[in-house]
Amino acid sequence: MIRRGLVASISDTTIWRWLDEDAIKPWTHRSWIFPRDPEFGPKASRVLDLYAGEWEGRPLRSDEFVISADEKTSIQARIRRHPTIAANSRHAMLVEFEYERGGALQYLAAWDVHRARLFGRCEPSTGIEPFDRLVSQVMTTEPYRSARRVFWVLDNGSSHRGQASVRRLTEAHPRLVPVHLPIHASWLNQVEVYFSILERKVLTPPDAVSLEELAARILAFQANHEDLAVPFEWRFTRADLTRLLERLATQDSGRLSEAA
């Protein structure tokens, strides 16, 4: 348009608006990964069955529970040079750019899928011992202590993966049934939904005057959230999983054909 003499100049804002409205946006991208766990379907199906209140084709009994657990790691305490100013009708939240690092903590949480009960603890590091403390925190509390079975949905983190973790957890808690997710399937772990809520409402921006204050704020939010929480409305089913895997298989075959 400039070259043709139709306009003398075009503002950056106008160019950005044109590009943003265009159907093809080459400057944007989305990451993806094909499931590489050969047992992705069966493993994911077991978890989805538990969310639907079933195990091996039978409904869960009233004394059987489903826990989703994981670790949110490296939560930093950033000590701002000047306090953050809350948003109001005149301006957005104002966050000082400069800060000192006050260390980091790890937050471990366990979510009762069907009863919206929440357990959590802050630890200086992750590992087998901190995770086992979370497990004991749950398994020594009623009704889990006297339950028939307590299913624990777990990812493949180093503190709770593989058969070694299965033996360790079941020897310490015979009523516990570990159920591991497929690799790269954290989106099937319901506690991650809670972590995203925590991130938005408590940890953005990650301000704190100390690690102790940060831990107290996290645990206070946990207690308040449990008072108000209801079970997540989980809509992704076995049928959805089947359609997803079929679509990925078709895409993978097409990609291989193009490469050949």
Residue-wise pLDDT for 217-249, tens only, equals: 999 999 999 999 999 999 999 999 999 888 888
Query: Before 59, cis peptide (omega within 30)?
Result: no
pLDDT band at 83 (very low <50, low <70, confident <90, very high): confident
Instruction: Please name the residues in contact with 253: beta carbons below 8 A apart, sequence gap of 6 or more.
Output: none
For residue 75, is pLDDT > 60?
A: yes
CATH number of 40-259: 3.30.420.10
pLDDT digits 0-9 by tens, 184-225: 899 999 999 999 999 999 999 888 889 999 999 999 999 999
For residue 79, is pLDDT > 70?
A: yes
Q: Span 3-9, mean pLDDT?
A: 55
**Percent over 90 (pLDDT), the chain:** 66
For residue 16, is pLDDT > 90?
A: no
CA dihedral angle for residue 126, residue 131, residue 137, residue 139, rounded to 10 degrees: 170
pLDDT band at 260 (very low <50, low <70, confident <90, very high): very low
Q: For residues 140 and 122, what is the distance between their CA atoms, to the nearest angstrom?
A: 18
Query: Which is it for the CA torsion 184, 189, 191, 195, positive or negative?
Result: positive
Q: Span 164-170, mean pLDDT?
A: 96
**Percent over 70 (pLDDT), the chain:** 91
Instruction: Please name the residues in contact with 113: beta carbons below 8 A apart, sequence gap of 6 or more.
Output: 50, 51, 66, 67, 68, 153, 190, 231, 232, 234
pLDDT digits 0-9 by tens, 146-161: 999 999 999 999 999 9
- pLDDT value of residue 20: 75
Q: For residues 1 and 123, what is the distance between their CA atoms, to the nearest angstrom?
A: 60
Q: Span 165-172, mean pLDDT?
A: 97
Domain boundaries, the chain: 40-259
pLDDT digits 0-9 by tens, 105-141: 999 999 999 999 999 999 999 999 999 999 999 999 9
